[in-house]
Amino acid sequence: MSSTASAAAPPCSPLLDIEMRRLAGEEVVNLCEAYQGQVILIVNTASKCGFTSQYEGLEALYSKYKDQGLVVLGFPSNDFANQEPGSEEEIEKFCRLTYSVEFPMFEKVNVKKGAASPLFERLAVAGAPYPKWNFYKYLIDRDGNLVDHYVSFTKPDDRKVVRAIEKLL
């Protein structure tokens, strides 16, 4: 790579400069390299939760705005009431068959304070709370900065979520 090309590349956001494995796979992805420059909605998910139907709204957001630069990243977690007990293969099959999820899903992680994966630790350092339940949502701008977070009760199609995403696009 030429020095001009490397000088033109924006620096990696510390929030996103982390490697995560794709759900039920071997591929490891550096979130900065793959997604910086896009608007990102990070969500901790679960398949057996009262909020699981939010997969539908998350996929609708992703489908509607992906061509404008939005990506939704799902991170299954079994931290709350054993609501994601399955294997990664079972989770992937459930998401695909039940909700036709096409947005990127990553390895099953811990999200609670004290045992959280490095990504959720970094979200907390950036000023967001640790998830208190499944389907917490974290909005990241194109520069890799935390912009906002939304609790489980906030649906993906909530006006404040959609407006915030549209403003960043």
Domains of the chain: 11-168 (3.40.30.10)
Residue 20, Cβ neighbours under 10 Å: how many? 20
- What totals of helices (H) and strands (E) does the chain contain, helices first? 6, 6
Residue 56 — pLDDT band, cuts 50, 70, 90?
A: very high
Residue with more model confidence, 4 or 10: 10
pLDDT given at position 10? 74
What is the rounded (10 degree) CA torsion for 134, 102, 145, 147? -60
List the Cα angle 49/160/131 in 5-degree steps.
40
List residues with catalytic annotation: 49
